Structure 1
Amino acid sequence: MEIEFYDLGEIDDAKLEFAVINVTYQDKLVLVKHKDRDTWEIPGGHREEGESINTTAARELFEETGAKKFDIKPISEYSVAKGQSTTYGRLYVGVILEMGQLPGLEITEVKLFDKLPQNLTYPNIQPHLHNRVYKNDKFNMHKTITVVE
């Protein structure tokens, strides 16, 4: 598996399938647990037909965390290549300003962390996306989070 990062706009918008939002609340990293898994993941998800990728990011953040007010900004595009298949997404950084009720769709739990836990849903992808945000000061909107190497 190979992960690459690109400047915003470098990847054709039509190819962007995913939005991933590295977000904090009360200076803690926000991770979620999907109802079908026992692992933690960074909020995000698939783009729906006819939806802009920025709308995808806002929708997914609300659906997966219950965030009512938040500040997010796109920082990078990325690709994940597995064999002959490559998928593309946009990476965001953000801060949740006000939490609301979890909508009760796919996510069963939202938890605040000081650092990425070991039991991640996508352990070969999520640390790279997280590090892209928190190891580069120009993207950091808030307190630096400790990163698991």
Structure 2
Amino acid sequence: MVKVRFYDEVEDSLLKFAVMIARHDGKWVFCKHRKRETYEVPGGHREPGEKIDETAGRELYEETGALDFDLDRVCVYSVTSVDEEGKEGEETYGMLYTAEIRKFEKELHSEIEKILITKDLPEKWTYPEIQPVLMREAKIRRGGYHDE
């Protein structure tokens, strides 16, 4: 089990991940990793010396092929594992973004097999306890985030 929490800000050095709730032409953008049968929102680890906004742009490009896009910070999120006795593990932090993608590269050059552009949410999530919660929070904080 995991706990997902949200913050307005934390110390920059604590931010280890960037996750983007991405849209293109009014539809959601999800990624399918080559080694998985599930879908996920674009995101990934911050590299040493990288600003968190740079991480977001790099990961969005690497995982979706996005060439022309706008990123908007939503909030800080954290994920904490919780064992069967309710004991919490280490809390890890990331920055949650919304992304509006206007143009994609013709092919992907990463571990991502394909992207899915759809009005519907996937049935099989890679991280079902985390990513739907992040999407809900982005929608709440962004006034529906362009719900149809």
TM-score scaled by structure 1? Answer: 0.89
CA contact (8 A) 1:63 1:102 kept: no
CA-CA distance at 1:136 after TM superposition? 3.2
CA–CA distance in 2 between the matches of 1:75 and 1:144? 16
CA–CA distance in 1 between the matches of 2:11 and 2:105? 34
CA contact (8 A) 1:40 1:121 kept: yes
CA-CA distance at 1:135 after TM superposition? 2.8
Q: Which position in structure 2 is the counterpart of 1:38? A: 37
SS of the residue 1:135 aligns to: helix
CA RMSD, aligned part only? 1.4
What runs of 5+ residues in structure 2 fail to find an aligned partner?
82-87
| Per-residue deviation, residues 14-46 of structure 1 (Å, max 9, x unmatched) | 010100000101110000001111100000000
Stretches of 4+ aligned residues off by more than 6 angstroms: none
CA contact (8 A) 1:64 1:102 kept: no
Q: Which has the larger radius of gyration?
A: 2
Amino acid at match of 1:43: P
CA-CA distance at 1:114 after TM superposition? 1.1
* 1:128 to 2:133 alignment: yes
Q: Which position in structure 2 is the counterpart of 1:15? A: 14
Amino acid at match of 2:112: I
CA-CA distance at 1:115 after TM superposition? 2.5
What runs of 5+ residues in structure 1 fail to find an aligned partner?
none
TM-score scaled by structure 2? Answer: 0.90
